[in-house]
Amino acid sequence: MTLGEFERQIYAVASSSPICGVPIVRRLTPTSINLRLDVMSGGFIDAFHNEETDATAFTLIQRNRRAFGADNTGGWYIHPFDAPERHDTLSGAMTFQSFVAAIERHLRC
């Protein structure tokens, strides 16, 4: 996936979500992008993609700690709400849409 495709996906999901603020590009290099979105219930989401390595990570930060996350470092893993320090294996890739939907369910939006 290109950096442009990743950025467009983040913006598309954010614009249709009741919990996401407007994405802001925090860092852009020739091979990677990091975006941040405020979450209406507090905290923020960081979304990262490296086009060269195909590494992707999504993290919900609340009270200065990871509250929920997903990444594909050595396969797809989820860091669940009840134990965000854990690395539970996922059977497939997590999209940003699925990530935000999981947060919405958790917040009961």
pLDDT digits (tens, 9 = 90+) for 54-93: 999 999 999 999 999 999 988 999 999 999 999 999 999 9
CA–CA dist 44, 21 (Å, integer) = 9
Residue range of the domain that includes 59: 3-107
Q: Kindly report the pTM of this predicted structure.
A: 0.94
Residue 51: strand, helix, or coil? coil
- The total of structural domains in the chain comes to 1
Asked whether residue 109 carries a pLDDT value surpassing 80, the answer given is: no
CA–CA dist 98, 93 (Å, integer) = 10
Q: Is 64 exposed, middle or buried (0-12, 13-18, 19+ CB in 10 A)?
A: exposed
Sheet containing strand 77-79, strands side by side: 24-28, 32-38, 44-50, 55-62, 65-71, 77-79, 88-89
